Structures are given as structure tokens and as C-alpha cells.
């Protein structure tokens, strides 16, 4: 049995994800907030949009699963989705918007603390992010 190493696993994941759905990533910065919970916050896109491939899935609501527990706790909604990205995809920002498909008919946002990075031999192989539909297509204050 061959040894499993980070580069071989990353190549396999890249081959799987590269031929999936086109996703548009927009990173945002926020300004205007001070210490009050009701302060007006303004968000602005930082940089340009990035197009990547990804693999979206509905949440698994199987009883006892991690996602079922997160739904019960109110951290996720049953209508949320999860998307698998390559490990090199940048998903960090104060707010991150993800458009699924090209053209992008609707926008989603990455749920805060909803990104998990999976590593092998200290190298990012892939990432999984929980996303929620932005009902009006933009962030409040955008």
C-alpha cells in the first residue's frame, strides 16, 4: 500500500474539485463599529472577486451527526449548505460572500466561524465552509 502524503492527497482533491461548480468569492472589510452593539457598520469589498471551483452540498441532517447538533443548537439552519474548496482558497475576511454558479443567480455568505481547514503533514489540503443564503443579495451596510 503506497504512503499517503500531503502532495498526493492535495493532487487528488484538486482533480475532484477543479471540475465542479464555479464559485465567485468576494472578501469584505467592515468599518464604523465601536463598542456598542447597535453601531452602524459599513462593509466594503476588499480587492477583486475571485473565481474558484468548489463542491456544494446540502447539510446532512442524520440524527446524531455534527450538523444535526449544530442545527438543534441554532448555529445552522436546515436550509444552509456546505461547500468544499481547495486548501489554497482564501476565505478570510470580516465578511465573505460566495456566489454559486456562473452566472451567479444568488449570493451566500460564510457563516462566522464556519470554515474548517483540513491538513495533512501541516499542508492545507481542502477547506469546508458553511454558507447561508443572503436573501436580499447584499450585506447590511454594503
- pLDDT tens by residue, 112-132: 888 999 988 888 888 999 999
93 in a domain, yes or no?
yes
Which range of residues forms the domain containing residue 52?
A: 6-133
**45 has pLDDT over 60:** yes
d(CA 108, CA 35) in angstroms, rounded, equals 27
pLDDT value of position 141: 63
Residue 1 has pLDDT above 50, yes or no: no
Assigned domain for 139 exists: no
**Mean pLDDT over residues 32-56, rounded?**
80
pTM, entire model: 0.83
| 26 found inside a domain | yes
Q: What is the pLDDT of residue 64?
A: 72
Does some domain include residue 80? yes
* Average pLDDT of the chain, as a whole number: 85
Amino acid at each position: 500500500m503506497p504512503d499517503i502524503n500531503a502532495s498526493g492527497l492535495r493532487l487528488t482533491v484538486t482533480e475532484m474539485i477543479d471540475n465542479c461548480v464555479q464559485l465567485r468569492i468576494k472578501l469584505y472589510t467592515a468599518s464604523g463599529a465601536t463598542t456598542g452593539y447597535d453601531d452602524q457598520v459599513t462593509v466594503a469589498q476588499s480587492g477583486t472577486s475571485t473565481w474558484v471551483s468548489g463542491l456544494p452540498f446540502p447539510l446532512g441532517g442524520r440524527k446524531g451527526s455534527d450538523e444535526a447538533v449544530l442545527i438543534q443548537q441554532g448555529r445552522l439552519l436546515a436550509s444552509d449548505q456546505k461547500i468544499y474548496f481547495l486548501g489554497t482558497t482564501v476565505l478570510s475576511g470580516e465578511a465573505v460572500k460566495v456566489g454559486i454558479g456562473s452566472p451567479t443567480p444568488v449570493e451566500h455568505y460564510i457563516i462566522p466561524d464556519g470554515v474548517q481547514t483540513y491538513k495533512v503533514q501541516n499542508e492545507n489540503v481542502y477547506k469546508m465552509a458553511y454558507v447561508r443564503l443572503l436573501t436580499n443579495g447584499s450585506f447590511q451596510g454594503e
